[in-house]
Structure 1
Amino acid sequence: MKKIFVASALAVAAVSVSPMFAAPAAAQSTKGSAVADLEAAVAQSNAYKTALTQIGTTYKAQIDQVETRSQTLEAELNVLRAKANEEAKKTPRNQAAVDAAIKAFQDKSTAAQRELSQLSQPYDLARTYAIDQISVRLDEAVKAGMTKRKVDLLLSYNPQIVLAAEKNVDITDAIVAELNTLVPNVQIVPPAGYQPGQLMQQKNQAAANAARAAAPATPAAGTAPTTR
């Protein structure tokens, strides 16, 4: 079994962005299309890399605690797994004993994951907060990268599921460069009450409010238009 703890604080969370960007209609048909790995763009940004280094220092005690605890739990799980395998190999086979051994392993595994998740919560939240700060500027970085690379249609993709793509159609590096300019650094200590994705939600809400404020007022139902 692989380690339960896989440095969750250093993994990149999914970024909430639009999967496809298109330039204004007037600009279309004069440029080309491209692809970009937006999650990789965030992960490769200077701000995120610096944040990971800072998190590793600031939360070192918690990270070490989780690593030590994960090794202990893994050893305990190995014992339960071996017992389940041993029961399964017995002749005659006692299915009730096999089921009980398997359940013991599964219950311990679930409890271990829950415990490690709770222990790693402080630095996981710090990582998420860093990503959130970068993500709120991602749309701007994407649009700027498209303009500089003369792209009017951009598709977000995951390199693990794309069979092949010409290097010159991938503008991930251009987006990273824009992020480095827009977000040179981020904070790693979340404010009190912060929830994952909160900054993106606030940005989207502000945009929605602005759109409603800019929309022309419509007469209430049953109200006759004013005439002179």
Structure 2
Amino acid sequence: MSGARGRAGDGDGREDPGAALARAGFRLLGRFAATPADHLPDVADGRPARALTLVGSLSDELFTPFRKSPEAADDRPDPLDRYTRRVLSALASEFRLGIVFPFEGPPYFPFQRWALRTGGFSPSPMGVLAHRAFGPWIGLRAALLSAEPIEATASATEPGPCETCLEKPCISACPAGALADALPPASYDVPRCLAHLRATPDAACHTGCLARRACPFGREHAQSAEVAALHMAAFLG
């Protein structure tokens, strides 16, 4: 899954998958060699998966190509998930890889646990994983499964940002207090967040989560106000 052309030195002249993913608004986030404890599903042809590569996206990067897609204009439910499935399934087929998605289920695949295995991630008080480079702005979109062994990325043992963040400004930035008890073993209070948003339609939160914007990691990757408003509208249903 690396190299300038084709798959890791296969020399067949095909484009590197990372470049194809980037054009469609996605990023390769990391990979790890599978162990029995990972319980990876088999590759589509029934072979056991021996490695997993995690695919994610930053909202503004993804929305640029997504807006030009047929899914964005057909007025059917879940356009972003359908775009993700179509584009990434085609790429997986081209490179003879299996693929699974976080929106498939129930039962749902343990994407957060898989992300932690790739390194650089940590659980955050906001209920999402935070990444050392991308902060809370990276979304998990798919996992590519390989029947061939692949070495883990060099960052596989790198800790996530929340483990070293002492001040945790995300907690105090939430006007609803939905993160006040969000440190383990408690969690982000979704009903409290929703109640605040619905009771205060002019709240600044409607243009994007203030807790996420307070995170000191990955600020250069923060959502634009337009994209954040779209995500907030989807969150509110």
TM interval, shorter chain, is: under 0.3
Instruction: Point out the structure with max Rg over C-alpha.
Output: 1
TM-score, normalised via structure 2 length: 0.23
TM-score, normalised via structure 1 length: 0.24
Give the structure with the larger helix fraction.
1
- Structure with the larger RCO, 1 or 2 (CA within 8 Å, 6+ apart): 1
